[in-house]
Chain A
Amino acid sequence: MARAFILLLLPAWCFAQDTLTVGSKRFTESYILGEIVARVAADAGEARAVHKPGLGNTGIVFAALRSGAIDIYPEYTGTIAFEVLNDPKAVDIRAINRELAKSGLGVAVPLGFNNSYALAMLDTRAGALGIRSISDLSRHAGLALGLSHEFLNRNDGWPGLKHAYRLPFAPRGVDHGLAYEALAAAQIDVMDIYSTDAKIAKYGLRVLEDDLRFFPRYEAVLLYRLDVPQRFPATWAALAKLENRIEASRMIGLNAEAELAGKSFDAVAAGFVSELGGAAAVAPGDGPRTFFGILFGGDFWRLTAEHLLLVFASLAASMLAGIPLGVWAARSPPASAWILSSVGLLQTIPSLALLAFLIPLLGTIGTAPALVALFLYALLPIVRNTASGLADIPLALQEAARALGLPPLARLRLIELPLAARSVLAGIKTSAVINVGTATIAAFIGAGGYGERIAAGLARNDNEMLLAGAIPAAAMALLVQGLFDLLDRRLISEGLRA
């Protein structure tokens, strides 16, 4: 366990020389492609290849690439043109490379399939309404659209589509992994999918024709730092052989192996690579899965240690900063206004946005930005409860302490903080419990913890995997709560009890 902590804390640059770090995004196809790239790279025998799977969204994974925290990851040309370069004309690889070169990045090795966005409905429902194309949708203003958050917010997603087709809908945001069930349960009528989606057949979906040719092409390519071919020439040569080796139907098949047959990403990738004729990698056997098998799987203690580290290291920092800030706020009414509003404001920043901002700032992904984000989120309850705990001390007692002639620091230490201890401790407890939940997002930037299972579960709509992450997190939250109730009994003076 101690070794796991040290490894976690070692900055990524320690390994920069001989390690190729592969990233991937938080959906099945990206996980599988990332794993394939990592396996092919490792088999080249030149570099240690590490896969950091399931990194947040485009903003986070691209920030990780620019900062050097990862060297390469699978991406799509359309995503690069719209999301990264903000240049709808940069659709072919040549144009993209011209732009990316300025940042020391490039794309290469088109993998052989196009995974564009599409809208889909249940075939039966679409048939009943006579809907074949996206244009047909605008005649049915009562339809409920449930779109993934990423699709809703991308320039090449809903905003552009709505404009191009003059669509009259106000869509709801639905997690992509959950949208199929929502569609099957008729809670929504239309969802966004990828054209290599594993579930098109399983759920009986009709892919609506993009009759105005709105969606650009999303060729799968490798997005990499330009120094990779020099640093790892043999590895690069091996990766180049992936060009045009994965056609769309093959990709749908790989996606289905993971999402529908319940194989691990590892196993799917290993199967593909060994078929390619690389070194005969043996797919790790998945064996029969039981829920307890997943719950207490081999990674359980590692994830627990990572989660505890995230929660308590950030909590300690929040206490060190938050208690003095709370004291300051209680002492000075003008300072109080801006201290409380700024820590309150921090709380309103969406976690993925905060992480995407912290990665370039810290130049790394993983534990460091996750700790900083958790630290910032945990400040508010501690600062607020310290300030209010101090302010609530009866005036007569505050004056009695001053009239004694106790120096200010002694007054704080011996009288005011002990009298406010209940409130301060309650604030710390709130922060700790919230931290346990918030720490699950750390998995989106490769910082591990139970969130790894939740992210993987969401990515392939695997409820057991999702629960195997959510249940230990909930149990940890309860344990933390119990721990603080115990501390309350230990730390709060007997004299303050009723």
Chain B
Amino acid sequence: MITLENVSKRYGAQVALAPTTLGFPARRTTVLIGPSGCGKSTLLRMIVGLARPDSGRVLIDGEELTAVNADRARHGIGYVIQDGGLFPHLTAERNVALLARCLGRPQQWIGQRVTELARLTRIPDAALARYPKDLSGGQRQRIGVMRALMLDPPVLLLDEPLGALDPVTRFELQEELKRMFAALRKTVVLVTHDMNEAAYLGDHIVLLREGRVVQAGTLDDLVRRPVESYVRDFIRAQRSTLPEVAS
């Protein structure tokens, strides 16, 4: 369970996140959604310790995240960004195995784990030997997920993982992510702009606007019981394939 207690963050005069209290239920997928600049990435970066809250605290399984325990906490968190965030000087396989090697995991264990993850993310062996520049966007993203899952962390954070992909690849990967989330049963927090994606992947949806949580709940809650007109407007602005919104 990840809990944010009254965390806030500002960059100069710009409020990235107003004081926010929010829980992410264990083994569920929570989707953060909202317009550009509303603080989604900031929130995610706080959980992995890349941004320090100006106030409040981040609790992971009851333990406060600090500068001292950040690295240990990160070993329990997989973090995936748009386009994978792969290191260009390392092959796909080396990207995936980097942390495990650095932590001294046995070579055989690493080999097995990489094979397992390649099967899970449907990465062909040949792609593992390539450098990121020689992979397709979809493959880079899959490798990014492999790297995040390498140590089998209980938490997986994904910041617009499919943002840079063409519609077909995106569609495929959405299905695969859903399958993986169901199979792995991790605490997932995923950021997206796309309400369809949020509806498809999320058990919970958190709608943000200008650094504040507008509404948090299931898709059903947002659709049937919008707390303010902005929720309705935001959902309406999306695909017409969504159910009719109650007024």
A417 → chain B closest CB, angstroms: 10
* Cβ contact within 8 Å between B74 and A404: yes
* Cβ contact within 8 Å between A407 and B50: no
B75 contacts which chain A residues (CB < 8 A)? 405
Proximity string of chain A (379-416) to chain B, C-beta cutoff 8 Å, 1 when within and 0 when not? 00000000000000000110111111111001000110
Proximity string of chain B (111-152) to chain A, C-beta cutoff 8 Å, 1 when within and 0 when not? 000000000000000000001110000000000000100000
* Cβ contact within 8 Å between A495 and B90: yes
CA distance A410 to B48 in the complex (A): 18
Tell me whether A244 is interfacial, beta carbon within 8 Å: no
Tell me whether A342 is interfacial, beta carbon within 8 Å: no
Using A403-B74, A404-B98, A405-B72 as known contacts, say yes or no to A397 and B87 having CB atoms under 8 A apart. Answer: yes
* Cβ contact within 8 Å between A405 and B74: yes
* Cβ contact within 8 Å between B87 and A401: yes
A402 contacts which chain B residues (CB < 8 A)? 49-50, 74
Using a CB-CB cutoff of 8 Å, which residues 77-115 of chain B contact chain A?
Answer: 77, 79, 81, 85-91, 98-99, 102
B86 contacts which chain A residues (CB < 8 A)? 400
* Cβ contact within 8 Å between A403 and B131: no
- Nearest B residue to A495 by beta-carbon distance? B131
Tell me whether A286 is interfacial, beta carbon within 8 Å: no
Tell me whether A418 is interfacial, beta carbon within 8 Å: yes
* Cβ contact within 8 Å between B88 and A404: no
B49 contacts which chain A residues (CB < 8 A)? 402-403
* Cβ contact within 8 Å between A414 and B72: no
CA distance A146 to B26 in the complex (A): 85
Using a CB-CB cutoff of 8 Å, which residues 400-438 of chain A contact chain B?
Answer: 400-407, 410, 414-415, 418-419, 421
- Nearest B residue to A415 by beta-carbon distance? B87
CA distance A112 to B102 in the complex (A): 77
B45 contacts which chain A residues (CB < 8 A)? 399
* Cβ contact within 8 Å between B90 and A405: no
* Cβ contact within 8 Å between B88 and A495: yes
Question: Which of A396, A407, A493, A495 touches B81 (beta carbons < 8 Å)?
Answer: A396
CA distance A207 to B90 in the complex (A): 73
CA distance A396 to B133 in the complex (A): 16
B32 → chain A closest CB, angstroms: 17
- Nearest B residue to A498 by beta-carbon distance? B133
* Cβ contact within 8 Å between B132 and A396: no
B70 contacts which chain A residues (CB < 8 A)? 405
CA distance A299 to B235 in the complex (A): 85
Tell me whether B54 is interfacial, beta carbon within 8 Å: no
CA distance A235 to B3 in the complex (A): 90
B200 → chain A closest CB, angstroms: 26
* Cβ contact within 8 Å between A404 and B99: yes
* Cβ contact within 8 Å between A495 and B85: no
Proximity string of chain A (310-321) to chain B, C-beta cutoff 8 Å, 1 when within and 0 when not? 000000000000
B196 → chain A closest CB, angstroms: 26
CA distance A410 to B131 in the complex (A): 21
- Nearest B residue to A396 by beta-carbon distance? B85
CA distance A403 to B49 in the complex (A): 7
Using a CB-CB cutoff of 8 Å, which residues 41-77 of chain B contact chain A?
Answer: 45, 48-50, 70-75, 77
CA distance A400 to B75 in the complex (A): 13
- Nearest A residue to B151 by beta-carbon distance? A405
CA distance A495 to B133 in the complex (A): 7
- Nearest A residue to B83 by beta-carbon distance? A396
B163 → chain A closest CB, angstroms: 13
CA distance A400 to B132 in the complex (A): 14
CA distance A421 to B90 in the complex (A): 13
A421 contacts which chain B residues (CB < 8 A)? 89
* Cβ contact within 8 Å between B89 and A403: no
Using A396-B81, A399-B50, A403-B48 as known contacts, say yes or no to A496 and B88 having CB atoms under 8 A apart. Answer: yes
CA distance A405 to B72 in the complex (A): 7
* Cβ contact within 8 Å between A414 and B81: no
B74 contacts which chain A residues (CB < 8 A)? 402-405
A447 → chain B closest CB, angstroms: 40
* Cβ contact within 8 Å between A493 and B89: yes
A495 contacts which chain B residues (CB < 8 A)? 88-91, 131-133
CA distance A10 to B222 in the complex (A): 83
Using a CB-CB cutoff of 8 Å, which residues 57-88 of chain A contact chain B?
Answer: none
Using A495-B88, A496-B89 as known contacts, say yes or no to A400 and B81 having CB atoms under 8 A apart. Answer: yes
* Cβ contact within 8 Å between B102 and A406: yes
CA distance A493 to B95 in the complex (A): 13
A419 contacts which chain B residues (CB < 8 A)? 87-89
Using A415-B87, A493-B89, A495-B131 as known contacts, say yes or no to A405 and B99 having CB atoms under 8 A apart. Answer: yes
CA distance A120 to B230 in the complex (A): 93
B88 contacts which chain A residues (CB < 8 A)? 397, 419, 493, 495-496
A398 → chain B closest CB, angstroms: 10
* Cβ contact within 8 Å between A494 and B131: yes
A395 → chain B closest CB, angstroms: 10
CA distance A418 to B88 in the complex (A): 10
B85 contacts which chain A residues (CB < 8 A)? 396-397, 399-400
CA distance A425 to B122 in the complex (A): 38
* Cβ contact within 8 Å between A414 and B131: no
CA distance A495 to B71 in the complex (A): 27
Using A402-B50, A404-B74 as known contacts, say yes or no to A418 and B89 having CB atoms under 8 A apart. Answer: yes
* Cβ contact within 8 Å between B99 and A400: no
A494 contacts which chain B residues (CB < 8 A)? 131
Known contacts A396-B81, A407-B71; 7 further A-B pairs (Cβ under 8 A) = A397-B85, A406-B71, A406-B102, A414-B102, A495-B131, A495-B132, A496-B88
Residues of B near any A CB (own CB < 8 A)? 45, 48-50, 70-75, 77, 79, 81, 85-91, 98-99, 102, 131-133, 147
- The 5 tightest CB contacts between A and B, nearest first, are A405-B74, A495-B131, A493-B89, A400-B85, A403-B79
10 A-B pairs within 8 Å (CB atoms) are namely: A400-B81, A400-B87, A402-B49, A404-B74, A404-B98, A406-B102, A419-B88, A419-B89, A493-B131, A495-B91
